């Protein structure tokens, strides 16, 4: 919500100036490029960008026809922001107005920590594309030693959870940290820390919540069927994440995407209790229960004793469409903020942006440094 204030104050400031200069650093290029617009043009850009994002917000990525599936398979997730009409806003203008709406969390670091002064930050981190770079093979999405150390230090200073589409066993295997909470299977499998040094201690150890337990037999059955139906498509891979499935097409020739989508649709038609959403070159198949990463964030804040707290600042960093569920909850709560990890403008409910896992690492490192300094000064 802070970002909205930032934008409002920008707009007030804008009204007082003839021209507006924005930098697209460090999100789109380095060294930074600066764009200077006449005030009226800049406000036009903001209007156009707002209108464009509202239009995209209405897009329904439901099941629909195969053709619409394949169209949305071509988009990275969340929806890539495109200029609604070339003649009104050029790509560069789009990037400039997007960076004003979702400034880099590195550039805005001081504003962010000042807003958190005297409050409890709770850190929520997506895994793939946020802590680990996106790679071709999902089984090789390793976190670097340096990132693991940074996340461990974050967890020693703030209550910390990893919220991921991966199964808990798989993400624990990658992260190898006991001081944190895990919300696997897109938030449908929540476990507390196993280290007594973690926030919340004994009371939050072990399995905390699994709202989709009764779906496990169905998930296992559909996993086997999908494996059988897609094994003839080179590069296709079905991943079992315990309470949900991922059908990967990153390594599938685009000419075969329609065939893959037809196979998946032919299976799901017999399982109305399963729904499909798009991820980054992946079809995510989940139970139709009303539970997602946003609900998991609320559950974890409650488990940590911050359900009704006015003094908590939840920070959620994520890169994918399912992270938007958490960004939305932060806006509904009117507390904390989401940070989208993306190199390109995307439709998002986040407030800030970072470019890639290396910038996430830098942001987390600075946060730990700031905490140690403020505790030292106390």
Ligand X SMILES: O=P(O)(O)OC[C@H]1O[C@H](O[C@H]2O[C@H](CO)[C@@H](O)[C@H](O)[C@H]2O)[C@H](O)[C@@H](O)[C@@H]1O
Interface with ligand X (CB under 6 A): 126-129, 134-136, 138, 141, 164-166, 239, 241, 246, 248, 250, 279-282, 284, 320, 322
Report in angstroms how near the CB of residue 136 gets to ligand X at its nearest: 6
Q: Closest CB to ligand X belongs to which residue?
A: 165
Structure tokens at 97: 């107005």
- Distance, in Å, from the CA atom of 47 to the CA atom of 204, rounded to the nearest integer, reads 46
Nearer Cβ to ligand X (89/339): 339
Closest CA to 248 of 260, 259, 263, 262: 260
Report in angstroms how near the CB of residue 170 gets to ligand X at its nearest: 8
Cα-atom radius of gyration of the chain, to the nearest Å?
A: 21
Contact 355, 317 (CB under 8 A): no
CA dihedral 331, 307, 113, 149 (to 10 degrees): -110
Report in angstroms how near the CB of residue 232 gets to ligand X at its nearest: 20
Nearer Cβ to ligand X (24/322): 322
315: helix, strand or coil:
strand
Nearer Cβ to ligand X (3/240): 240
Whether a cis peptide bond, with omega within 30° of 0, leads into 78 is: yes
Report in angstroms how near the CB of residue 323 gets to ligand X at its nearest: 7
Nearer Cβ to ligand X (358/374): 358
- Distance, in Å, from the CA atom of 188 to the CA atom of 293, rounded to the nearest integer, reads 8
- Distance, in Å, from the CA atom of 303 to the CA atom of 162, rounded to the nearest integer, reads 15
Nearer Cβ to ligand X (23/77): 77
Nearer Cβ to ligand X (49/131): 131
Nearer Cβ to ligand X (279/336): 279
- Pairing between strand 189-191 and 237-240? unpaired
Report in angstroms how near the CB of residue 294 gets to ligand X at its nearest: 13
- Distance, in Å, from the CA atom of 13 to the CA atom of 10, rounded to the nearest integer, reads 5
Residue listed under structure tokens 């003649």: 87
CA dihedral 119, 123, 124, 130 (to 10 degrees): 130
Report in angstroms how near the CB of residue 113 gets to ligand X at its nearest: 26
Report in angstroms how near the CB of residue 191 gets to ligand X at its nearest: 15
Nearer Cβ to ligand X (20/283): 283
- Distance, in Å, from the CA atom of 182 to the CA atom of 124, rounded to the nearest integer, reads 10
- Distance, in Å, from the CA atom of 160 to the CA atom of 150, rounded to the nearest integer, reads 12
Report in angstroms how near the CB of residue 128 gets to ligand X at its nearest: 3
Nearer Cβ to ligand X (128/324): 128
193: helix, strand or coil:
coil
Report in angstroms how near the CB of residue 238 gets to ligand X at its nearest: 10
Structure tokens at 36: 């200077």
Structure tokens at 218: 């169905």
């Amino acid at each position: 919500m802070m970002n909205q204030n930032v934008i409002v104050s920008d707009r007030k400031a804008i009204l007082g100036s003839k021209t507006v200069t924005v930098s697209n650093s460090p999100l789109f290029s380095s060294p930074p490029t600066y764009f200077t617009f006449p005030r009226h043009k800049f406000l036009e850009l903001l209007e156009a960008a707002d209108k464009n994002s509202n239009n995209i917000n209405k897009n329904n990525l439901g099941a629909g026809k195969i053709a619409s599936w394949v169209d949305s398979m071509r988009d990275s997730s969340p929806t890539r922001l495109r200029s609604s009409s070339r003649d009104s806003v050029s790509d560069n203008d789009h990037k400039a107005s997007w960076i004003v709406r979702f400034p880099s969390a590195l550039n805005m670091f001081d504003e962010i920590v000042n807003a958190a002064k005297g409050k409890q930050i709770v850190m929520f981190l997506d895994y793939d594309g946020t802590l680990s770079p996106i790679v071709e093979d999902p089984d090789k999405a390793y976190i670097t030693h340096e990132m693991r150390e940074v996340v461990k230090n974050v967890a020693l200073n703030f209550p910390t959870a990893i919220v991921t589409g991966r199964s808990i066993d798989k993400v624990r295997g990658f992260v190898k940290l006991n001081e944190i909470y895990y919300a696997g299977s897109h938030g449908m499998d929540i476990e507390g820390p196993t280290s007594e040094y973690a926030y919340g201690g004994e009371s939050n150890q072990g399995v905390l919540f699994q709202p989709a337990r009764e779906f496990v037999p169905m998930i296992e059955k559909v996993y086997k069927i999908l494996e059988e139906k897609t094994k003839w498509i080179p590069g296709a891979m079905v991943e079992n994440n315990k309470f949900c499935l991922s059908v990967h097409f990153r390594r599938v020739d685009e000419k075969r995407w329609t065939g893959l989508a037809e196979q998946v649709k032919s299976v799901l038609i017999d399982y109305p209790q399963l729904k499909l959403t798009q991820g980054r070159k992946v079809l995510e198949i989940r139970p139709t229960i009303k539970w997602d990463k946003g609900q998991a964030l609320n559950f974890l804040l409650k488990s940590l004793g911050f359900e009704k707290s006015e003094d908590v600042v939840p920070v959620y960093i994520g890169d994918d469409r399912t992270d938007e569920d958490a960004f939305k909850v932060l806006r509904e709560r009117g507390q904390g903020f989401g940070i989208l990890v993306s190199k390109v403008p995307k439709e998002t409910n986040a407030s800030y942006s970072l470019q890639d896992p290396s910038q996430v690492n830098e942001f987390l490192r600075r946060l730990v440094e700031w905490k140690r300094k403020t505790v030292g000064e106390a």
